[in-house]
């Protein structure tokens, strides 16, 4: 008899334990601080999971602390929680009471909507006492901790804003923001710009020629299945970085124009085109000979240079002559006809690397007389 009583008692205790675990799991909050924890607005991108079979009436309190100091406390009015996953009610969030901490971090958050760098604790408290459900606790709380670092901007690099060139399948390069979540991806949009059209309007409303998503790196070659760029047409492009289907940041909108006709051809065939650190966007026509100059403020040595086709920028041309570099003004003559790699009418880029990380460039079109 005593044995049966012990078994009944154990079963009763296990039922209570299972019931307690089930009760605790009725309401839970899911939040991703690496993606959404940078700003006040991001706090609204949490998911509240209602595991109970019926609707609940809930009030949400969000407390953000840094180093144990209050940064902001947000208290929303009541809203409905349906069974399953619920986003934070946007109307309730917009009507919430915001109490910012009386400190530098709280003041910055109130003025800019952004959080400074540091380790933060985000606590979401869901109060369902208005539901008057005796089987559920009145309050559920989930907290998250994240070390925040302010992201650097997403910067476009190439093609340069306002550039003009003849490469109908250019390479797009940008500088990613830092830090980024491991699952971050990029989207590149390229579209035509109509006459007198605003460039932001162009990338927003015009049908895109390129709308490439899920880019893992910071570069994209013009897709082979995209329409060829048109002579004289102005184009606008923009890059967006996103993670978990949420947009983290967008770049500026830059433009370029495809221009192949009437390049700036040198009338003096023995003139030398100076290499510069900034691409001026014009063209130099190399009639068999490539003649260029540069000013070297450093010591003498071998000239470190490379020439690449604009159609294959990752494949430097081989078999180029070795050149010497002297202090002061240097002038060079390279007979391009001796290298069968160069094709008539194609565009190329010569890059010279000096000491102290100085890089000089010149774009040219090869013409074989």
Please compute the mean of the pLDDT values over residues 101-107 and round it to a whole number: 94
Residues in a beta bridge with 107: none
CA distances from 81 to 40, 51, 142, 240 (A): 22, 10, 16, 33
The reply to whether 33 and 102 lie within a common domain is yes
The answer, yes or no, to whether residue 10 has pLDDT greater than 60, is no
pLDDT classification of 131: cutoffs 50, 70, 90? confident
Q: Do 173 and 135 reside in the same domain of the chain? A: no
- In tens, the pLDDT along 249-302 reads 899 999 999 988 654 444 444 578 888 876 555 568 888 899 999 988 888 889
Say whether both 160 and 246 belong to one domain.
yes
- Look at residue 11 and tell me if it is in a domain: no
Instruction: Tell me how many domains the chain contains.
Output: 3
Do 277 and 252 belong together in one domain?
Answer: no
Instruction: Name the pLDDT band for 369 (thresholds 50, 70, 90).
Output: low
The CA distances from residue 362 to 286, 306, 310, 347, 359, in Å, are 11, 11, 12, 11, 10
- Whether the predicted pLDDT of 99 surpasses 70: yes
pLDDT, residue 78, reads 95
Give the bridge partners for 359, in sequence order: 353
Statement to judge: residues 127 and 225 lie in one domain: no
Same domain, 162 and 143: no
Cα 5 from Cα 186, distance rounded (Å): 65
Residue 202: predicted pLDDT? 94
Q: Which residues pair with 173 in a beta bridge?
A: 158, 219
Whether residue 113 is found in the same domain as residue 166: no
Regarding whether 165 and 77 lie in a shared domain, the answer is no
Residue 48 is predicted with a pLDDT of 96
Q: What is the CATH number of the domain that holds 107?
A: 2.60.40
Domain of 286?
273-367
Place 358 in a pLDDT band, splitting at 50, 70 and 90. Answer: confident
Is 318 a residue whose pLDDT tops 50? yes
Same domain, 190 and 247: yes
Last residue of a domain, one of 204, 229, 258: 258
The verdict on 222 and 321 lying in the same domain is no
In a domain, 19, yes or no: no
């Amino acid at each position: 008899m005593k044995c049966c009583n012990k078994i009944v008692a154990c079963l009763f205790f296990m039922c209570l334990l299972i019931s307690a675990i089930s009760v605790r799991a009725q309401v839970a909050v899911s939040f991703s601080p690496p993606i959404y924890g940078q700003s006040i607005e991001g706090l609204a991108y949490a998911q509240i999971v209602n595991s109970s079979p019926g609707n609940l009436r809930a009030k949400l309190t969000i407390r953000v602390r840094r180093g144990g100091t209050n940064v902001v406390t947000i208290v929303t009015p009541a809203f409905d929680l349906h069974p399953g996953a619920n986003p934070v009610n946007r109307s309730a969030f917009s009507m919430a009471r915001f109490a910012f901490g009386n400190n530098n971090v709280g003041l910055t958050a109130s003025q800019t909507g952004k959080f400074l760098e540091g380790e933060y604790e985000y606590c979401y408290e869901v109060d369902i006492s208005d539901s008057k459900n005796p089987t559920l606790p009145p309050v559920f709380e989930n907290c998250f901790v994240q070390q925040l670092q302010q992201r650097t901007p997403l910067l476009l690099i190439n093609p340069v804003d306002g550039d003009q060139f003849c490469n109908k399948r250019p390479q797009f390069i940008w500088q990613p923001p830092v830090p980024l979540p491991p699952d971050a991806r990029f989207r590149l949009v390229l579209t035509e710009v109509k006459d007198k059209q605003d460039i932001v309007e162009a990338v927003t409303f015009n049908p895109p020629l390129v709308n490439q998503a899920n880019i893992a790196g910071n570069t994209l070659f013009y897709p082979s299945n995209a329409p060829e760029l048109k002579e004289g047409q102005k184009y606008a492009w923009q890059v967006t970085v996103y993670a978990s289907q949420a947009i983290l940041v967008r770049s500026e909108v830059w433009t370029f124009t495809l221009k192949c006709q009437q390049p700036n051809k040198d009338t003096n065939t023995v003139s030398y085109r100076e290499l510069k650190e900034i691409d001026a966007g014009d063209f130099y026509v190399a009639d068999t000979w490539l003649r260029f100059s540069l000013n070297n403020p450093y010591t003498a040595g071998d000239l470190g240079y490379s020439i690449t086709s604009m159609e294959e920028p990752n494949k430097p041309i081989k078999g180029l002559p070795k050149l010497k570099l002297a202090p002061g003004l240097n002038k060079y003559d390279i007979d391009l006809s001796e290298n069968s790699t160069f094709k008539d009418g194609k565009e190329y880029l010569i890059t010279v690397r000096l000491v102290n990380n100085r890089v000089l460039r010149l774009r040219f079109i090869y013409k074989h007389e």
